[in-house]
Amino acid sequence: MVSPQEVGRASECSCGCSRAGCCSIPGFALVYDRMRLWPGHLDRRNGRWLKRWIVLEVPSWIASGQPTPDNYTLFQGFEWNVPADQKHWKRLVAEVPKLKAVGVDNIWLPPGCKAASPEGNGYDIYDLYDLGEFDQKGQRSTKWGSKEDLLELCKVAKENGIGLFWDAVLNHKAGADKTEKCRVVEVDNNDRTKDASEPYEIEGWLGFEFPGRGDKYSSQKYHWEHFSGTDYNQANEKKAVYKILGDNKGWSSSVDSEGGNADYMMFADIDYSHPEVQADVKNWGVWITKELGLKGFRLDAVQHFSERFTNEWVDNLRDECGRDIFIVGEFWSGDARLMCDWLDNMDHKFSLYDSPLLNNFSQLSKTPDADLRKVFDKTLVSMNPVSAVTVVTNHDTQPGQTVETPVEGFFKPLAYSLILLRKEGYPCPFYGDLYGLKGEHAADPSCGGKLADLVLARKLYAYGSQEDYLDDANCIGFVRRGTWDKKAGLACVMSNKGPGEIKMAVGEMHAGEKWTDILGWEQGEVEIDQDGYGLFKCPGTSVAVWVRADAEGRDRFPTNFDADIYSKA
């Protein structure tokens, strides 16, 4: 490759620009020759413009000659109603090779620390350091399985090149071992900054001794002074929001303003102004990362605990375990601007789940003849795509949950196509959409069983420049034109009304190729004309993803993904 310095010294190049040498950059001649074929083609006089276009617009892979980086997909590896049979880690062990084969690179695991209840999902967190190793809270294993099973999952994931992200619940603790007396003041449940009583003494569940674990991994015990609030007075059995009083006590000032001050959410609220708490939770982050070989974290309820401490926790973790540790926070809001402001305050050390996009999916799916062109309006992925983790459903928004956000079944393949096949955002498909849901709202896998095919299409074909076709409110499309080493590209067209079709340009480099729908929902083939255009169709209220019929990897479609996970363990 020609270095920038060599470019400056080179003699006149073939495009005729005054700063010669650009045509020796890998890929330049191909791009230049293609552009010469366009109407009003470039000549030597505007070669300078073309060089500027390549330097500014062509991705770094073409300038460097380096392979195009693979697309990554994060998979949420659980749903709320997974059976409490302590076999989930074992089931995931069996699924890891299959998930890798369809293009999953990282799995978001549930919060597998010991919960207050044997059937608790882990958001009712009791002991951060008990991963199913100690006999506490009624059993040794967690709902998800034993620590031995978890370590086996970590081993198999590493062997298959899949990273594991841990769901860290750092806001509170639950299931205390004993009550302790402390002075409190009740606060207004709608405005936590307003006192609703005079100070008085309560008997709160605030003593955490961890008798089954003892001092292994950490000798820190938790008492009333390590918390800022609680919600139950054992002395009179009264439920309320109690702010704990004492030296240097009070709600954190670096939290969201929901309810006046969002510090208190539930259970015994951890006080991150206490130095012993800070040290213990920082130690835990490093310990569990090394213990399990983690590659990232999902931080639960980040707007409810100290931003200052969260920044310190992330810095300490990355200093000790590597700068590439991925962190995504749960900041559930309908206001993408508020989320962007939070990211600014956190120096963009995080990603966030794009809840405004999920809200758009839900609203569009329930509105007859909705305008699909508005799908990305006021979303995090449109404002800050690098920091957006995109979802269609998760454990909090699935049917029956507190923030249930229903997306109609017909719309899910459209929504997944929009998060998986476009260049913006980091997509996170949901366990319940791939394997189905259990419990009162049991459901079969979504997307007609084709979610795995869409994930694989992302891995194989969703590369290169992107162009949107948004002329029709009820039928939209986009193309990805491929890169120098991932050449296939794709064309995606979708409708929320009747059958649709859009003439789209996939590029002259694809002229003469025959493309078919990898999902098999739209029959026939499209032949790309000499100008690089094709007329791409989709069925009514559906989506089609078109790729060259003989593209590398086409023999892997349909994936016929086996979603019967519960027979594996």
End-to-end CA distance of the chain, in Å?
A: 53
- Would you call 23 helix, strand, or coil by DSSP? helix
Q: Which of 186, 225, 280, 330 is catalytic?
A: 330
Distance CA 467, CA 536 (A): 14
CA-CA-CA-CA torsion for 505, 506, 508, 509, nearest 10 degrees?
A: 180
Residue 124 designated active-site: no
What is the bridge-based pairing of β-strands 191-195 and 178-188? antiparallel
Q: What is the 3-state secondary structure (H, E, C) of 500-543?
A: EEEEEECCHHHCCCEEEECCCCCCCCEECCCCCEEEEEECCCEE
How deeply is 155 buried, as exposed, middle or buried, from its count of CB atoms within 10 A (0-12, 13-18, 19+)?
A: middle
Distance CA 29, CA 489 (A): 20
Residue numbers of the chain with a pLDDT score lower than 50: 1-57, 59-61
CA–centroid distance for 200 within its chain: 44
How deeply is 26 buried, as exposed, middle or buried, from its count of CB atoms within 10 A (0-12, 13-18, 19+)?
A: middle
Closest Cα to residue 521, out of 496, 503, 501, 546?
546
Residue 564 designated active-site: no
Q: Output the DSSP codes for 98-141.
A: HHHHTT--EEE----SEESSTT--SSSEEETT-SS-S-BTTBSS
Tell me whether the omega of the peptide bond preceding residue 558 falls within 30 degrees of 0, making it cis. Answer: yes
Buried residues in 326-359 as b, exposed as e (16+ CB within 10 A) = bbbbbbbbeebeebbebbeebeeebbbbbbbbbb
CB of 519 closer than 8 Å to CB of 453: yes
The predicted model scores a pTM of 0.88
* pLDDT value at residue 64: 55
The secondary structure of residue 214, as a DSSP letter, is T
* pLDDT value at residue 62: 53
Q: Which of 180, 186, 300, 424 is catalytic?
A: 300
* pLDDT value at residue 120: 96
